[in-house]
Structure formats: structure tokens, C-alpha cells
Amino acid sequence: MARTGRRPGNQDTREAILAAARKAFAERGFDGASIRAIATSAGVDPALVHHYFGAKDQLFVETMQLPVNPADFMPKVIEGGLDGAGERLMRTFLGVWDSPAGASLAALVRSALQHDWSARMLREFLLTQILRRAMKEFGVDPAEAPQRSALVASQMIGLAMVRYIVKLEPVASMPADELVLAIAPNIQRYLVEPLD
């Protein structure tokens, strides 16, 4: 799951764009940050930002310095729709976190939780790159999608904390298959059952 794609361009210019983008996403969120404003702040033409990084989504993923790219695993979760979605989400999540990339993810989450601006980056990332897309592809009622996806996020983030950071046993060392059986039904309830 290495980062892929072209990485063209002058290294200093790339870094200047990434620094401006990080600041813009942290201050204004994903939706509020524009490629135009990021380009102005970096002192380059907007076309150059597109040329180097592609769409705003890709630029955002680059600023997060993730060891994995959501585009690599999201299709596995989404295909098949809502039936069994809780189980696929759990399997995919544990597959990524139990892999060698897991240690980098844990470090990234630890660091993100330290400051309001970095916690906001994490929130914007979860919201715009993972949750909104999955809810849309699943066809979840848009009126319910934010609540359902935030509840799913609460369970997944808590699982990451307990298994990889706080390391509370037996969750810290249980086989992934057993964790899937234990947790997937709760995720599925958040996705499809009435919650009030």
C-alpha cells in the first residue's frame, strides 16, 4: 500500500504548496480551502498545483503524510453495499492497522490528537475522504448519514486506541477474526438500524 502516482516537479515548489495546503486545510477545513487560495499562499499558479497534485482530494491526502491511501482500500469496503458492510469495514480496518503501516498510523493518530489544528485535520480527513464517500456509496439516507458515520467512527477510533495505543488485553492481541465477530454487529447496527 505504498503511495502511488506521479510525483513531478521541483521539490522546493512541492514543499511550498504542501505547507500552504496544510495551513489552509487546518484553518478552513477541506471544503473551505480552495486550490486558488493555496496557490496564492504558495506563490504559484493554481494550474501548477493541479499539475503537481491532481485534485484537491489528492492534495489533502498528501498533506496528511499517510502510510496508506484510502483510495487503495475504500473499494473493498464499499463493494457489496450495506449487506455485510460492518464486517467488511472491520476486516479492512484491521488489515491496514495490523500491517507494517499500522505503527505509522498509530504515530500519526497520537500526533493528530495533540493540537486542535491537527485534530481538525484528522476530523476533516475522516469526514471528507472516508465517511461521506462510504455513506454516499452505501446509499444511506443523507439526513442520517452524518450521525451514523460519526458513530461508526467512534467505534473504529476507539478500537484503534485500545488495540494499538492503550493496548488493553485481550483486544490488543486477539486474532482479527475474533474481533470481527465481536465488533462487526455493532458497526452494522450503526449503519442500518433505527438509532432513536
Give the three cell numbers for residue 21.
495546503
Q: Which of 153, 175, 191, 192 binds its own copies (CB under 8 A)?
A: 153
Shortest Å distance, C-beta 118 to its own copies = 10
Q: Which of 66, 82, 157, 176 binds its own copies (CB under 8 A)?
A: 157
Measured on CA atoms in the order 69, 60, 65, 96, is the torsion positive or negative? negative
**4: how many CB neighbours lie within 10 A of its CB?**
9
Query: Which residue type is seen at 158?
Result: G
Using rule CB under 8 A, residue 140 touches its own copies: no
Q: Which of 26, 61, 85, 159 binds its own copies (CB under 8 A)?
A: 159
Q: Which of 15, 79, 83, 178 binds its own copies (CB under 8 A)?
A: 178
Using rule CB under 8 A, residue 132 touches its own copies: no
In the complex with its own copies, the residue whose CB is nearer, 53 or 164, is: 164
Burial of 42 (0-12, 13-18, 19+ CB in 10 A): buried
Question: Which of 16-24, 38-46, 81-89, 180-188 is the region at the interface with its own copies (rule: CB under 8 A)?
Answer: 180-188
List binders of its own copies among 59-118 (CB under 8 A): 110, 113-114
Burial of 149 (0-12, 13-18, 19+ CB in 10 A): buried
Please give the DSSP secondary-structure letter assigned to residue 175.
Answer: -
Rounded CA gap, 45 and 52, in Å? 11
Shortest Å distance, C-beta 98 to its own copies = 15
Shortest Å distance, C-beta 5 to its own copies = 27
